[in-house]
Amino acid sequence: MSESSFELEVLDVIEETGDARSVVLDPGEHREHFAYTPGQFLTVAVPSDRTGLVARSYSLSSTPVDDGPLTITVKRTPDGYASGWICSELRPGDRLRVLPPSGIFTPKDLDADLLLFAGGSGITPVMSIIRTSLARGSGRIVLFYANRDERSVIFGAALKELAAEHPDRLQVVHWLESVQGLPSQDQLRAFAAQYVERDAFVCGPAPFMAATVAALKELEFPRDRRHQEKFVSLGGNPFETAAEREPGADEDEPAAAPAGPSVHLQVELDGVDYEYDDWRPGTTLLEHLESKGVKAPYSCREGECSACAIRLLEGEVTMRANDVLEDEDLADGIRLGCQSEPASEKVRVTYS
């Protein structure tokens, strides 16, 4: 089991709606590992008789400003394994194995004016952004919040309270499919057209996100003001340690021969410069840094979440998989550290 995962006590399980629960976790003595920015997520290990554990990411709905417990909010997915277990089985007093916060769906400036789009459980990271911006920032916030019907609205009462407390800063527009049907791209564009100078954040079911992002693109929101969080289930197990994953870690299995010539690598991470001469094709940037004992950020390890995003400053890499970066991100030099293998003699990257 990964040394960087922690067992946290479940302080409470709150019924938000018929099919959504907030799980309140105590970071306890591990608080320093659980500092987070609004919009980030935790990855939890859900026990399974079949596979040992199932890893799933859940966004934090709490705000870091009060130094309180960590809260994730989970909506039951039809036939979903982990969400079903969390909503039905988890009780206060239980312990949950958790990876520290991760993710880049987070405002760079809490004073910025924000245009937020949430569909269903997509409200979770958005709620943390709203709570934090209202408490610490000065910008104006408008939330377009789509749900199937009134009973499905998570955090309805909390949003009403916040909007009443901050009438000049927070406006919440509820869109109910039961009343108005699904929001179309044209309707989303007409709404967003009033706020084209703002930073946009979008989180929700895939069709809702696709329509909203298309509307923002029509309005020519630049990529750096268009943020999206995709809710997908992880296929792999980020709780395994690098040593457990290493092909040669098993004594009966010979270590894989290095593939290709060694590459000169320069990495800037958290203000520290690292330099190596032995990175090779066949090993990802994340694996190489881990083999050197460098704690580089990651979460899914599958090219799905962008917690490991880097910017390429020099040279080339190839990515094994990429389900999250858009063409504009690639053109800006953004790559995924967990998927990048060297493709030039010298590579220079930064995590900032």
Ligand X SMILES: Cc1cc2nc3c(=O)[nH]c(=O)nc-3n(C[C@H](O)[C@H](O)[C@H](O)COP(=O)(O)OP(=O)(O)OC[C@H]3O[C@@H](n4cnc5c(N)ncnc54)[C@H](O)[C@@H]3O)c2cc1C
Where does this chain bind ligand X (CB under 6 A)? 41, 48, 50-51, 54, 56-59, 73-75, 77, 80-84, 103, 121, 124, 229, 231-233, 305
Closer residue to ligand X (CB): 102 or 284:
102
Least distance (Å) between residue 105 CB and ligand X: 7
Closer residue to ligand X (CB): 87 or 285:
87
Least distance (Å) between residue 329 CB and ligand X: 16
* Rounded Cα–Cα distance for residues 243 and 11 (Å): 33
Closer residue to ligand X (CB): 210 or 219:
210
* Rounded Cα–Cα distance for residues 291 and 309 (Å): 19
* Rounded Cα–Cα distance for residues 100 and 40 (Å): 10
Closer residue to ligand X (CB): 75 or 335:
75
Least distance (Å) between residue 4 CB and ligand X: 17
Least distance (Å) between residue 42 CB and ligand X: 9
* Rounded Cα–Cα distance for residues 170 and 147 (Å): 19
Closer residue to ligand X (CB): 130 or 305:
305
Closer residue to ligand X (CB): 120 or 342:
120
Closer residue to ligand X (CB): 104 or 188:
104
Residue written as tokens 């690292």?
A: 274
Least distance (Å) between residue 228 CB and ligand X: 11
CB-nearest residue to ligand X? 80
Least distance (Å) between residue 83 CB and ligand X: 3
Least distance (Å) between residue 154 CB and ligand X: 9
| CA neighbor of 183 nearest in space, from 196, 170, 173 | 173
Amino acid at 251: E
